[in-house]
Structure formats: C-alpha cells, structure tokens
Structure 1
Amino acid sequence: MGYAIAFDVAFLRRDCKALGLAFSPRTSDVREIYAARMQRRHPEVTPDLKFEAICQAARVTPMGRHDALGDAVTTALLWIALGLGKP
C-alpha cells in the first residue's frame, strides 16, 4: 500500500531480478484508487492527484512531507480516511 508506488516497485523489481529473486508483490496505490473513485463520481472533472490535494480532499494533514516515515503514516491515514479499511 502506498502513493504512486509504480516507481518504487520498478526499482525493487530490478534489484530483485539482478539478485535472481522473484518479486511479484500485491500492491494497492492510494492515488490510483482515489483517481478511479473520482472518475466514477465526477467523470467530467480531471481530479488533482497530487499527494497534498488528495490529503486535503480526505481531510488528512500531511506529516513530515518527503520524509519516509511521515509519508508512510500520512498514506496510512489516507487509506483509512478513504474508507479502504485498516492499513
């Protein structure tokens, strides 16, 4: 679970491949889920998918932006605020 995780997954996949390790994680991307939800609800509007914009829409205060722990905690709070369940 994360925000815009394709970039991170690509790095991990490349490094695992170099080590001869299989890497096929199940992922859930808050940005993709939010985009799909907004497209269903408001197909005429292009949603703002920036991290801060999604936080504002979900009424979540970002913690320590561009800090690994802060981004992880904020993403978990987004997950909960968007009604996606426990992180």
Structure 2
Amino acid sequence: MLENFFRNWNKKRLKNKKYDFLFDEPLPNEFISLDCETTGLNPKKDEILSIGAVLIRDNKILMRKTFNVFLKPSKNINAESIKIHHIRKVDLENALNPEDAIYQLLDFIGSRPIVGYYIKFDVTIISKYTKNFIGIKLPNETIEVSSLYFKTRKRSSDYEFIDLKFDTILKTLDIPALGKHDALNDAIMTAMMFLKLKDLTPAKTTFYTN
C-alpha cells in the first residue's frame, strides 16, 4: 500500500505526460539488462559517457533489440578516467546530447524491470538526468544480479566470504566473456547471468528491489 502511494506521488510529479508509460504495468517475462560507463563513481558529480541495454523476453536475449549510445560530457574527460572506462575523445565525436540520449533510453526501457550488476549506481546516475528532464527519478523496478548470485552460493557459515566480482560470477556460471568491457557487452553478459541465476534462485525469492 505504501509502495503504491509513493508510486502515485512520483507519477504526479512527472513534468512530461508523454512518459506516463513508465508507470504502466510491465509485460510479464520482459526485462531490460542495462549498464552505464561513467566519468567516475560519484553519481552526484560524475556523468554518463555511454549506456548499453538489451531486451530479455521469455528467457531469451533479443540481440536485435539492443540500445547503445554515447553521451556528450559537459567537460573533457581526464586521462585517469579513460584508463577505467576506455572511452576516448574520438569515441565521443558523434555522441548525443544527454537529453536526447535519455529520452531514447526511456522509450527503449518502457516500464520493464531493469536488470544490472550493482544496478543501484546506474539507476541513481540515470535518475540525476531524468529528474532534470522529466521531473522524476527512474521509477522502474530493479533486479540486482550479484544479490541473486549470492543467494545461490552454498556457505558453511554466515561469515564465509563470497566473491561477487563481475568476472568471478561470469566464470562460476560458465558464461563467455564478450571481448572488452563496454556498456553493451556488459549489459549482454549481465542478461546471461540473470537468465542462469533466475533458474537457480529459489522460487520464493523476490527479484524486485527499489
């Protein structure tokens, strides 16, 4: 009941009614796997450089339904951050302005739940843009693959360490690495993780988090 109250309150704050569809009931068995590359790890001050996403429908990753854009940053990216995200100035020559990129992303996502690896960060930094452009944070439900993975690991005690690194999860689940780590490749690999983990996770587990 409280969740519905906040959802309706959030909808009333929407500045552009074109995006009412973000609050529609999502279609069953459809998800969006998403990943962002950013200038840093502080969503309050850092910016998105690229967004990759892919549609999951009926336990299949639809490679014809992908989303992959670069965003123009407000200032030049520094050399230190390039070592992390590997996005160079030349890669951003045809980048979209952030407003156009975010509007395209919203059209692609719709009201579907969003799957990701440490997805809270991605949703938080995307919400910085959506709040500016349409007045609200991204309202979609989220599914954290590292949490699903953690729940499938057998432990001898509550204190046993579980390695939740992206590459460790890939290797443990026997999922092939897709070349370099960029936003789209990471979104596709995360989608593969999700489909494997969805079958391994106990049926009573709730996928969605806010």
Q: Shared fold by TM > 0.5?
A: yes
Q: 1:25 aligns with which of 112, 132, 140?
A: 140
For 1:70, the equivalent position in structure 2 comes to 185
**Which residue identity does 2:167 align to in structure 1?**
E
Note if contact 1:64-1:71 (Cα within 8 Å) is conserved in structure 2.
no
SS at match of 2:142: coil
Alpha-carbon RMSD across the aligned residues, in angstroms, is 1.7
Task: Answer 1 or 2: which has greater helix percent.
Answer: 1
Equivalents in 1 of 2:146, 2:172: separation in Å? Answer: 12
1:24-81 CA-to-partner distances (Å, cap 9, x unmatched) read 110101012212333xx31342110100001111111121342122111111111122
Compute the TM-score of the two structures, normalised by the length of structure 1: 0.79
Residues 1-87 of structure 1: matches in 2 within 5 Å?
1-22=115-136, 23-38=138-153, 41-42=154-155, 43-82=158-197, 84=198
Compute the TM-score of the two structures, normalised by the length of structure 2: 0.36
Equivalents in 1 of 2:185, 2:126: separation in Å? Answer: 21
Counting matched residue pairs gives 82
Unaligned runs of 5+ in 2: 1-114, 200-210
- Structure 1 stretch displaced more, 16-25 or 2-11: 16-25
Aligned-residue identity in percent: 30
Deviation at 1:20, TM superposition (A): 3.9
Are the structure 2 counterparts of residues 65 and 57 from structure 1 closer, same or farther at C-alpha, using a change threshold of 3 Å? same
Task: Answer 1 or 2: which has greater strand percent.
Answer: 2
Unaligned runs of 5+ in 1: none
Equivalents in 1 of 2:148, 2:127: separation in Å? Answer: 22
SS at match of 1:63: coil
Equivalents in 2 of 1:29, 1:65: separation in Å? Answer: 22
Larger radius of gyration: 2
Equivalents in 1 of 2:146, 2:191: separation in Å? Answer: 12
